[in-house]
Amino acid sequence: MSEPLLNRALSFAIAALAASLPLVWWTADLPSRPLHLAVGAGTAMLAVVAGVRLGQAEPAGDDLISRRRRATRLALLMAAVYIWAALAILVSYYLTALSWYHAYQYAAYATVPGLLALGAARRHRNGPDDLAAAALARGRRLAILQAVLMLVGLVYIVWLDKLRGSHADWAAIDSLWWGATAVGIISLVAARRTG
């Protein structure tokens, strides 16, 4: 896949994440949890498809430069998904009649790893060449850890039975569920294709 096509895949994914936010707001404002879940599922699916495409080998091969470009793009996509989850929580609670006193905290919890992923993308793109291989190996280990943590978070949500029911945090749980699903799968792609 050529460089411009990969850049378009990343741009499309980020645009789709942003474009889904009005739908997240609308479904939370109805309030309709099934529609809210469906919007999150569709958004996560688009992000995962983009992640798989971004993880594919480039025509130039699997050299260090190609792996750095893939790592940069995948880190940017992970950052976008984290930030999407944070914004989805904020629009669900602060632009609707829904009320949950922890909304801003959970949005912050999603924002911090998003900012860290942006930093990782910058490091992969602009870091010194002599440290690139070590940075990619460390990034691979962190991607595996992140995938495991996303799985733990998903299991915890199921264990608490938060996907059924109408607790005040349902909109945040939906956004975190689909965000964690997308980030977990994209992390596995990153671990496999960049390390």
Alpha-carbon separation of residue 90 from 31, 41, 106, 116, 166 (angstroms):
15, 18, 9, 20, 18
Shortest CA distance to 103 belongs to which of 159, 167, 160?
167
Q: How confident is the model at residue 87 (pLDDT cuts 50, 70, 90)?
A: very high
| pLDDT of amino acid 188 | 96
Give tens-digit pLDDT for 180-194. Answer: 999 999 999 999 988
Specify the DSSP class assigned to residue 131.
G
Give tens-digit pLDDT for 134-171. Answer: 999 999 999 999 999 999 999 999 999 998 877 899 99
| 128 three-state secondary structure | coil
pTM: 0.94
Give tens-digit pLDDT for 17-45. Answer: 999 999 999 999 999 999 999 999 999 99
Alpha-carbon separation of residue 58 from 10, 64, 83 (angstroms):
14, 12, 27
| pLDDT of amino acid 5 | 65
Q: How far apart are CA 11 and CA 126, in angstroms?
A: 20
| 165 three-state secondary structure | coil
